[in-house]
Amino acid sequence: MALRTAVQLTGDDLTIDDVWAVAVDGAEAALSDLAREKIARARALVERAAHGTREHTYGINTGFGRFVSRSIPEELTAELQLRLLRSHACGVGEPYPDEIVRAAMLLRANALAKGFSGARARPVELLIECLNRGVLPHVPSRGSVGASGDLAPLAHLALPLVGEGEAWVDGRRLDGAAALAEVGLEPVSLEAKEGLSLVNGTQFMTAFGALALARARRLVRAADIACSLSVEALQGSRTSFLPQIHAARPLRGQIDSAANLLQLLEGSAINESHRWCDKVQDAYSLRCAPQVHGASRDLLAYAEATVSVELNSATDNPLVLVDDELLVSNGNFHGQPLAFALDALAMATSELANISERRIERLVNPSLSDGLPAFLTLDGGLNSGFMIPQYVAAALVSENKSLCHPASVDSIPTSAGQEDHVSMGNASGLKAWQVLANAERVLAIELLAGAQAVEFLAPLEPGAGARAARDAVRVLSPRLADDRPLASDIEAVAGALRDGGLVAAVEAEVGELR
């Protein structure tokens, strides 16, 4: 069921929030009238190339890749497009997450709606109907080198449209024809260039970017929230977050993170209680949090700028330039901009987890925690308290360090040297997705530990934002007295970070964070 008015696809104004609404929240999509007009104009030019002068035009009357010089007779035009999908659908490995596939369906439809591809409206409409009616193509996640876009994944995505391949409907894996029939749809017969228009593009890389950035927007605020709890529990100073300090080094992310921390710590009785203590400086994981969190924010801003452009870009080959009456070979399908952006996203979110784990260590280590009980338990020895959650955070952070080696610096030539430089952007997306999930869990552990730790300072209360964070954690996880398995508690808090629930609960108390 749609949760909002259908997202109208024009090819020009899709946003990250729109992608999240359709792929995660279940909003429907629709092809706009403007898009239909642009599609019709581009299609007329393709028809002329396919059935008129018969000029040598890539992918319409030629083979693909190294076979570009091979002419294809007009009577085999449609067969060429079908065989393209079949030949390219050779991905392997576990399937992409469902929300990534839905996002890729939406993005491919939006790219076709832009009117630079030359497909008819019918395949686009069918793709949108599959999305709206719950037909989810089965798409293996390994096999794209991110050069001519995501060829193998998009071929798997497109095959159900012609009644082939496999798709999921209501939890059942069916062949493409059966999946369409299950929801009252019929397959389409492809015509000139339409197979190529369905597989040439960067939509899986872009899907990773859009959905990961939607989560990362929440994660940067959650990092400030978790840090505020740790600052309170460790009786750290607010003065490191004063705006005058950050105005002297005016990096946008740093300024915003520092402002958030001051806002979250406002009204703290804990802070007031140690105002005149003899501690001169806090550890870097507290004192330098705005600088580190802010650097991640700035890197994510770069990634978001790239992905936001890609959402509404024409990445097909050849492109149909209607106003110039040209079909031109080009390289807009190359995923290098996205590969860089996804590797940057992985590094940015990894560093949020990296510094978070150091704060967790300070919370559980009695040599560093300024009076908190070892591992945040009163009956140490019989109970281990938060000993092992810190191990888990360390494991996740270590895994992230390996995953942050950039895929975008690699290239292996393909198609007999015709495609002699590739982006490996799909690998960047897969890695960034895992790094992000790991980072959410590390911050969840910090929030759990921070909530436990700050309660040892009762009856003193933390600032309004930190207090709201503790209360939000307590809704999901009761205070740890005697040991119990905390795996489900960690996943529950990580889920609240992922869906934005925890940040929303804090903002309801202190106002919107930056």
Position 12: which residue type?
D
Structure-token match 């409206």, residue found: 121
The answer to whether residues 363 and 369 touch, using CB atoms and an 8 Å cutoff, is yes
Q: Which residues contact 449 (CB under 8 A, 6 or more apart)?
A: 230, 360, 363, 364, 376, 386, 389, 390
- Our CA dihedral for 438, 443, 447, 448, rounded to 10 degrees, sits at 20
Nearest to 35 by CA among 108, 104, 111: 111
Q: Is 491 exposed, middle or buried (0-12, 13-18, 19+ CB in 10 A)?
A: middle
What is the full DSSP assignment across 407-440? GGG----BGGGTB-----HHHHHHHHHHHHHHHH
DSSP 8-state symbol, 373: P
- Distance, in Å, from the CA atom of 197 to the CA atom of 204, rounded to the nearest integer, reads 15
Q: Which residues contact 426 (CB under 8 A, 6 or more apart)?
A: 141, 142, 143, 144, 145, 146, 150, 153, 204, 205, 335
List the catalytic residues.
58
Helix 203-233 and helix 289-310: axis angle, to 10°? 160
DSSP 8-state symbol, 66: G
| DSSP β-ladder status, 166-169 and 319-321 | unpaired
The answer to whether residues 414 and 145 touch, using CB atoms and an 8 Å cutoff, is yes
| DSSP β-ladder status, 136-137 and 172-175 | unpaired
The answer to whether residues 301 and 253 touch, using CB atoms and an 8 Å cutoff, is yes
